Amino acid sequence: MKLKAFGIGAALTAVLLTHPVGFAQQGAAPAKPATCPAEGFSGGFTRGCPQKQFANPADVSAMMAALPDKPYATPQSLRRVLVLGRAVGWVHTSIPLAAKMVEYLGDKTGAWMTTITYDAAAITAENLKQYDAVFLDSTTGEFLDDPNDKAATDLRRRALLDFVKGGKGLAGIHAATDSYHTNGPAVTGTWPEFNEMIGGFFKFHWSYPTLIPVKVDDPNSPLTAMLPARGFEIVDETYTFAQDSFSRKRVHVLTSINYGRMSAEDKAKEPASTKRTDGDYALSYIQRVGNGRVFYEAHGHDEKIYFSRPFVAHMLAGIQYALGDLKADDSPSAKQ
């Protein structure tokens, strides 16, 4: 049966910059290129350029047209979400658009109020008291760290962990899992508590534009109610996780790659060293961490993804779950 295409037109625009697998070695500042794109550039990513904080107005307009009209659950109180868009490794041009998506989702549906920052110094125990969830917007590398201040780094890391474990929420999109891991053939996590909290760390991606068949693992979840239960297809840059970093014994999988329906040609693009022996390529999932809640979605690389009504609605539901307003089965998908 032919799967229904998901939110993307027939005309695909290729990325404008080359994106090799992974990102610069942790702690190493990427070399600045000879030229950097102007503010509002879209359709790719940069490395070593000043991080842009403003989305292309045409992209914002298209994203706004995809916004749902109402929340999936009535907020239990006035909710506040902090969006962190700091990327230390590869910098996706979709970061400002994803941040505006979160802001406008909250504004239009009344589900939350949003603060957007690109400064990791905002992650302190005192500042986080005013928020109910943190949204990691394609953060890459050691995005919380100050290489010149270990004490500040340690406080930021502890503040984020305590925030979630203490009962608040964490949501992440795309490159939020391209954080805190080594580069190279033997990829390992460098901050185990975060790696486990976000659900895994990046090992490989199918480059944009690759058509990926998606399976809805839990069609009964309120977080997948907007998705075709039979599955769908999506065109984006699709992340996969290192073998030992992701497990259904920890997370409740919402969607995953329907690997059996992928073309042999696309399967062959993945090096043997990154293939999972279990063939399990999760895309979105939720989990409990302490008393808090975590939602993650692996897609979100290209701006066109944010023009898709089902995708944006999925993000709304995921953030409302992280906030604690949308109740869902978050038990691990596989028994211990």
Average pLDDT over residues 237-255: 89
Average pLDDT over residues 225-229: 96
DSSP classification of residue 81: E
* Range among 15-24, 26-35, 48-57, 183-192 with highest mean pLDDT value: 48-57
Nearest to 200 by CA among 241, 240, 169: 241
Nearest-angstrom CA–CA distance, 91 and 179: 12
User: String of b and e for 34-63 (b: at least 16 CB within 10 Å)?
Assistant: eeebeeebbbbbbbeeeebeebbeebbebb
Is the pTM above the cut of 0.85?
yes
Which residue has tokens 């697998």? 21
Contact between 151 and 131 under an 8 Å Cβ cutoff? The reply is: no
Nearest-angstrom CA–CA distance, 237 and 209: 6
Average pLDDT over residues 145-160: 97
Residue 269: pLDDT band (50, 70, 90) is: confident
Q: Which CATH superfamily is domain 4-8+69-323 in?
A: Class I glutamine amidotransferase (GATase) domain (3.40.50.880)
Nearest-angstrom CA–CA distance, 122 and 26: 21
Domain ranges of the chain: 4-8+69-323
On the question of a cis peptide bond just before residue 332, with omega within 30 degrees of 0, the verdict is: no
Q: Give tens-digit pLDDT for 275-312.
A: 888 888 899 999 999 999 999 999 999 999 999 999 99
Phi, psi of 253 (to 5 degrees): -80, 130
